[in-house]
Structure 1
Amino acid sequence: MMTFPHLMSCWRNQQKPRQSCNRPALFLKRRRDMPWQDEQAAFAAVLPAPHLPAPGCTSGPGQSRADRRFNIYRNNHISSLIDALAAGFPVVRALVGDEFFRAMTAEYIRQHPPRTPVLLAYGETFPGFIASFPPAGSLPYLPDMARLERAMAESLNAGDADPLTINTLAGIDPAALPDQRLILHPSARWVESDWPVISIWQAHQASGTSPSPDARAGAERAIILRPDLTVDLHHAEPGAYKFYRDLASGSTLGDASEELGEEAATILPGLLGTAFAMGLVTAISGQQSKPITTGNRK
């Protein structure tokens, strides 16, 4: 079990979420000498930091009671964010253990409080935080695992579009194919790692039958896609991964094929067949397929 005593002691000092009584949980009192936006900033500054005292703008039947109520509110707020991160990064949590994960995410919340009321958006910077978090350094693949899980969450909540079939290519003049651009599915996400993070992720799934992979097995590349209601995770070889990334960046079929080198004529049909089979292509050139929705999933 990974531990870091200072943060562990801080986490243990926090109480579990408590139910409030029938009285109002918290009052805010206005200070005439302080603008409202400054009061809000002061309240927000101490909310993710259990070691800081309650802000002066809280009040109640007794100031000590108000401070206790604020601490309950703050503890519940932090716990809800930790639970949200645990739901978004389940394999990261499994790799480090629940106690380490909760302490690490409590520190993340303190340093990076939410900037938007949309809870789904929270955790975008969590992989970078893990990379700079010394106690997690014994698992060098942990930041990439967080990147993978974050990419899967983004794919799940991305916009929808109808995938095309490979028969669509039959209606295009072969001489014009090199100048065509393939429009890829809006849910497509890409993760490249020096570590076998895909194999590690698959080994932690309830339905997985793969043995625990060797973390030293080498680099892996993932194409993450949700062509319908399920997020799919695809392994990709280096050449295929670069080819699809080039298409995603707007390269024409001709330009992307040139990067394949002398083997282009041999492997291009298979790469295109795989792209259409996995539901990666939604339009050719500027003719976008009819979208199902332009917004994110709720």
Structure 2
Amino acid sequence: MHEVLRDQLMSMARYVRDPRHNAPPPGIEARRLAVYRQLFFGNVESLLSGGFPVLRASLGPTTWQALIESFYADYRCQTPLFTEISEEFVSFLEAGGGAALDLPPWVVELAHYEWVEAALLLSDKEEPAHDPEGDLLEGVPLLSNLAWPLAYQWPVSEIAPGQLPQEAPPQPTLLLARRGADLQVHFSRMAPLAHALLVSLQERRCSGRQHLEALAESIGVEGEAILPQGLALLQNLRSQGVVLGTQVEPAW
């Protein structure tokens, strides 16, 4: 008997997920199936509409509806948590989801940009142990877990229904997203050197001097030439809470 019940449930799940390509389960009237479909699909669509308002408005209702239907029908989420469905949607787009809809080329980056705000708001990641007054040049500067350097090919912060880019600009859009003490997420534009420094802090642990010397080498100047500017930048980032301070050496 349990096999029969399982088959019935799977048949219903397949139909509710994608009624255009799956037959309805026998014995259930169409009106009731429509209620189930609207209940489940409507919840997902409502969550994603709230998480991606600019993307939704920029695509328009018809394309947005088709995109969510494709996500709902074709993608298999790796988490049951509603709070993580936005990240799953971004993964769906990054994997080429919705390709049959001929989406604009900026869709993936705009979706990621909108997801970042929710991800930082909900983050419960703890900050590492650090010395807030540590020497940023000789010590190992630590980037806050709530500060993310971002780089996009498309001008994601400017896209809106009336401002849809036709081609990517020659320069990338470099941003810093951070959750402040006010528990709000703030986005700010970054100069290339500042962005490169934050990416360096994010990717490896070494002294501030070593970070700056590596950046100097990458742009073809002497390390000493950018040390004053680089130290001032690190100090400014610390005052904003983007850089926490320096790494605390473990006591053995």
Q: 1:99 to 1:277 in 2, by over 3 A?
A: farther
Partner Cα separation in structure 2 for residue 35 and residue 73 of structure 1:
18
Partner Cα separation in structure 2 for residue 199 and residue 277 of structure 1:
28
SS in 1 for 2:86: coil
Q: 1:278 to 1:40 in 2, by over 3 A?
A: farther
Residue 78 (structure 1) aligned with residue 41 (structure 2)? yes
Matched residues, number? 236
Contact 1:223-1:235 within 8 A present in 2 as well: yes
Residue 241 (structure 1) aligned with residue 195 (structure 2)? yes
Contact 2:153-2:168 within 8 A present in 1 as well: no
Give the deviation of 1:287 after TM superposition: 7.0
Question: What are the residue-to-residue correspondences of 1:239-278 with 2, within 5 Å?
Answer: 239-252=193-206, 253-261=208-216, 262=222, 263-278=225-240
Partner Cα separation in structure 1 for residue 128 and residue 236 of structure 2:
13
Q: 1:183 to 1:100 in 2, by over 3 A?
A: same
Tell me what 1:146 maps to. Answer: 111
Tell me what 2:179 maps to. Answer: 226
Question: What are the residue-to-residue correspondences of 1:136-175 with 2, within 5 Å?
Answer: 137=102, 139-159=104-124, 168-169=133-134, 172=135
Give the deviation of 1:212 after TM superposition: 4.9
Partner Cα separation in structure 1 for residue 164 and residue 8 of structure 2:
52
Residue 54 (structure 1) aligned with residue 24 (structure 2)? yes
Partner Cα separation in structure 1 for residue 31 and residue 76 of structure 2:
22
Contact 1:48-1:113 within 8 A present in 2 as well: no
Q: 1:162 to 1:112 in 2, by over 3 A?
A: closer
Tell me what 1:189 maps to. Answer: 148
Contact 2:234-2:243 within 8 A present in 1 as well: no
SS in 2 for 1:282: strand
Q: 1:111 to 1:213 in 2, by over 3 A?
A: closer
Contact 1:181-1:250 within 8 A present in 2 as well: no
Q: 1:150 to 1:287 in 2, by over 3 A?
A: farther
Give the deviation of 1:110 after TM superposition: 0.9
Deviations 1:138-175 (A, max 9, x none): 621221111111112111111266899x9714xx4x8x
Give the deviation of 1:95 after TM superposition: 1.2
Partner Cα separation in structure 1 for residue 210 and residue 14 of structure 2:
51
Q: TM-score, normalised by structure 1?
A: 0.67
Q: 1:46 to 1:187 in 2, by over 3 A?
A: farther
For 2:142, give the aligned amino acid.
Answer: I
Give the deviation of 1:40 after TM superposition: 5.4
SS in 2 for 1:107: helix
Partner Cα separation in structure 2 for residue 255 and residue 39 of structure 1:
63
Q: 1:33 to 1:88 in 2, by over 3 A?
A: closer
SS in 1 for 2:176: strand
SS in 2 for 1:222: strand
Partner Cα separation in structure 1 for residue 32 and residue 76 of structure 2:
21
Contact 1:108-1:129 within 8 A present in 2 as well: yes
For 1:104, give the aligned amino acid.
Answer: L
Partner Cα separation in structure 2 for residue 266 and residue 136 of structure 1:
51
Q: 1:199 to 1:279 in 2, by over 3 A?
A: farther
Partner Cα separation in structure 1 for residue 78 and residue 103 of structure 2:
30
Partner Cα separation in structure 1 for residue 229 and residue 102 of structure 2:
39
Give the deviation of 1:88 after TM superposition: 0.7
SS in 1 for 2:205: coil
SS in 1 for 2:72: helix
Q: 1:163 to 1:267 in 2, by over 3 A?
A: farther
The percent of aligned pairs where both chains have the same amino acid is 21
Question: What are the residue-to-residue correspondences of 1:87-102 with 2, within 5 Å?
Answer: 87-102=50-65
Contact 2:141-2:247 within 8 A present in 1 as well: yes
Partner Cα separation in structure 2 for residue 45 and residue 287 of structure 1:
55
